[in-house]
Amino acid sequence: MKIKTPARQERKRRKLMKRISGYFENAKTTPFDERKMGIETESLLIYKRSDQPISFQTSQGIFSCLICDFGWEMRETKNGKVVKIEKGGFELFYELGWNNFELVTPVFHVCDDEIYSKNELLLAEINSAAQKFGAYVSNMSWDKDESNTLIIPDKRDEIWLDLDGNVLFGLGHIACIHFNIDLVSIDEGMDFISRLLPLYCDYAWPAEANKRIWQNYLRGSKAQYQDGRYGPPPTSFAEYCNKIASYRIVMNVIDGELKIADPQVEFSQCENLNLDMFLRSVWWWMRLRVRNGKLVLELREVSRTLPIKESFNIIRTELNI
């Protein structure tokens, strides 16, 4: 039996930290003048007369209308259900619930205002299609509903409900904006986080309803998530990596299949961890990501209350980018 000496424990700790830090350190960084960005806009779809979330049939009708009348193209179906469409590099798909559409832009240079005009044009098309079914695209952060609108077209999607239980329903009724920004370095990313935390406080990001529903989700999930997996992130890279390493593995990709970890294991005990999958279940308001091999800062949970361009200009001014 191996004795856990302080020296051995320290070597194990360093190896673990290198595993996490190396994931980000090995990502490609971006020169300052080549920085690009992308936007993810979540929108709740509501019936005008009842102020209730749209039905699944209506959501499919909106997708069909966008394809037939507005020139969108089908990109993915599951069991006969349309789940993703695309136009000009912009993708539209369900964000957990059939009443919550997520519009994702391609990347644009951070100074290119065309990203906003094209994004708004496509949101207007979605709204026009919704109006044909007596619905509209809402800018609300929460639709004041917590019913089951989960879109679960196949077995792979069912696993999330198996993991969390019915508390997952609430996440299908909140919406926000995410910005993804290329980074010059990890240090820049951590500096951005430090500067943005007070800004989030000033503008009440995330919205109070979103925070409440996320906190209810973490407390009520069958996965028994540890505290801190949602909220403000650490502001030093060392603590950022340490905090990640403190969380248990709840789900992993094994032999190409997404599976629930049963029993859950500590990060240090999982040798074949899909790190990108794991990091998606650490829902900090700002988080480092590696997208297509590039180091990115994801700014999550920006409220829908302000126009998208105005929100990002506030961020740009604070970060001087």
- pLDDT bin (cut points 50, 70, 90) of residue 246 is very high
The domain in which residue 27 lies consists of 16-319
In a domain, 4, yes or no: no
Q: Do 290 and 296 meet the contact criterion of CB atoms below 8 Å apart?
A: yes
The reported pTM is 0.93
In 3-state terms, what secondary structure has residue 298? strand
Give the span between the Cα atoms of 251 and 260, in whole angstroms: 4
Total count of residues recorded for the chain:
321
* pLDDT tens for each residue of 14-31: 777 888 999 999 999 999
* pLDDT tens for each residue of 194-232: 999 999 999 999 999 999 999 999 999 999 999 999 999
In a domain, 2, yes or no: no
Out of 55-59, 77-81, 211-215, least confident range? 77-81
Query: Phi and psi of 80, rounded to 5°?
Result: 80, 0
pLDDT surpassing 70 at residue 2:
no
Total structural domains within the chain: 1
pLDDT given for residue 263 in this prediction: 85
In percent, the amount of the chain with pLDDT more than 90 equals 82
CATH of the domain at 41: 3.30.590.20
In a domain, 307, yes or no: yes
In a domain, 118, yes or no: yes
Query: Strand runs (DSSP E) across 242-285, as ranges?
Result: 248-254, 257-266, 283-284
In a domain, 3, yes or no: no
In a domain, 28, yes or no: yes
R_g over Cα of the chain: 20
Q: Do 174 and 230 meet the contact criterion of CB atoms below 8 Å apart?
A: no
Q: What is the end-to-end Cα distance of the chain in Å, rounded?
A: 55
pLDDT surpassing 60 at residue 261:
yes
In a domain, 10, yes or no: no
Tokens of 79: 């069991």
In a domain, 138, yes or no: yes
* pLDDT tens for each residue of 281-314: 999 999 999 999 999 999 999 999 999 999 999 9
